[in-house]
Amino acid sequence: MKPPPFDYSRPSSVDEALSVLASLGADGKVLAGGQSLVPLLSMRLAAPHHLVDINRLASLAYVRGDADAVRVGAIARHADVEADADAARVQPLLRRALRLVAHPTIRNRGTTVGSLAHADPAAEMPAVLAVLGGTVRLASTAGIREVAAADFFAGPLECALRPGELAVEAAFPAAPARSGSAVEEVSRRHGDYAVCGVCVVVTLDDDRHISSVRAGYVSVAPTPLVLDLTEAVRGRAYDAPLDAVRGAVDVEPEADIHATADYRRHLAGVLTVRAVQAAARDAVEREVAA
């Protein structure tokens, strides 16, 4: 349970980090919080030649909430995002989901952008980015590109990052007026990876009837699956029974040691109904509070 040997560098500016990553190419691997990478190293499931530690890039430690989005820099810790009052106001789904990410001690070190780059389909934050239609900003010596969540997650533990690129920021779009969100998941123990989870965003019209429903799933597909469930419940009152969404939850999960595919499918349906009801109520509560 010790990492294999590797080289290590710790750049002190973003430019230096990008040039180090450019010179290393496919041999380089970014170390941010390390809460997923270090276990992979210790279990010898990964053996990068060279780690580029970005923890001293203080200019990437920010969490900013403005009218459009919550922008999270590459080394902002989960705990920083969770604690940020502007982030919670601009996009309440962030704090709700972060409270389900492992335990506080892990969140003190783990980074939100790192969790996205790790692209674990059993992790909450990729599903949050996906359901919100967020973006990740990737930088390299060649320039900067913004990648939409739908294009960012390529497969289990695979994302759109190319050799030499650094994910410098994630943008989580602000919650629009008359929208609400909720997260529901089932895990074997609190803080464990979810057996199945769902993040839901519901938008209401002026009469508090459902006008859109989007759901992003955890642990049911190789990438964070997003379903538009609007048609199943469009026009219903926010406090009416919304069980009809269950029929629209078309997922094809895999079986593993923790759950059969059927059980996961069952959970996806049940949790979606709960989350849609809760998100619809949340939309009204936000409106009343505002």
Partner 1 sequence: MSEHEIRLTVNGAAHDVQVPARRLLSDCLRHDLGLTGTHVGCEHGVCGACTVLLDGRPVRSCLLLAVAADGQHVTTVEGLAADDDLSPVQQAFQDCHGLQCGFCTPGFLTTITAGLRDNPQPSEDEAREMVAGNLCRCTGYQNIVAAVLRAAELTRSCNSGPPDAAESRTVDEGTLAS
Positions that interact with partner 1 (CB under 8 A) = 1-10, 31, 34-35, 38-39, 41-43, 51, 53, 55, 79, 102-106, 108-109, 190-191
Other C-beta atoms lying within 10 Å of the C-beta of residue 87:
25
Alpha-helical (H) ranges within 72-138 are 78-83, 85-90, 93-98, 104-107, 112-118, 124-132
Residue placing its CB nearer to partner 1 in the complex, 39 or 176: 39
The distance of closest approach from Cβ of residue 196 to partner 1 in the complex, given in angstroms and rounded to an integer, is 20
The distance of closest approach from Cβ of residue 168 to partner 1 in the complex, given in angstroms and rounded to an integer, is 19
Residue placing its CB nearer to partner 1 in the complex, 53 or 287: 53
Residue placing its CB nearer to partner 1 in the complex, 12 or 260: 12
The distance of closest approach from Cβ of residue 133 to partner 1 in the complex, given in angstroms and rounded to an integer, is 31
CB hemisphere CA count around 113 (13 angstroms): 27
> Cα separation of 76 and 222, whole Å?
26
> Cα separation of 78 and 76, whole Å?
7
The distance of closest approach from Cβ of residue 42 to partner 1 in the complex, given in angstroms and rounded to an integer, is 6
Residue placing its CB nearer to partner 1 in the complex, 25 or 39: 39
Residue placing its CB nearer to partner 1 in the complex, 20 or 132: 20
Residue placing its CB nearer to partner 1 in the complex, 195 or 201: 195
The distance of closest approach from Cβ of residue 275 to partner 1 in the complex, given in angstroms and rounded to an integer, is 22
Residue placing its CB nearer to partner 1 in the complex, 1 or 67: 1
Helix/strand/coil (H/E/C) assignment for every residue in 159-206: ECCCCCCEEEEEEEECCCCCEEEEEEEEECCCCCCEEEEEEEEEEECC
DSSP state of 250: -
119 Ramachandran zone, left/alpha/beta (phi>0; psi -120 to 50): left
The distance of closest approach from Cβ of residue 210 to partner 1 in the complex, given in angstroms and rounded to an integer, is 33
Q: Are 175 and 286 in contact (CB under 8 A)?
A: yes
- Output the six-digit token pair for 228: 């538009």
Q: Which of 92, 99, 106, 122 is nearest to 198 (CA)?
A: 122
The distance of closest approach from Cβ of residue 39 to partner 1 in the complex, given in angstroms and rounded to an integer, is 4
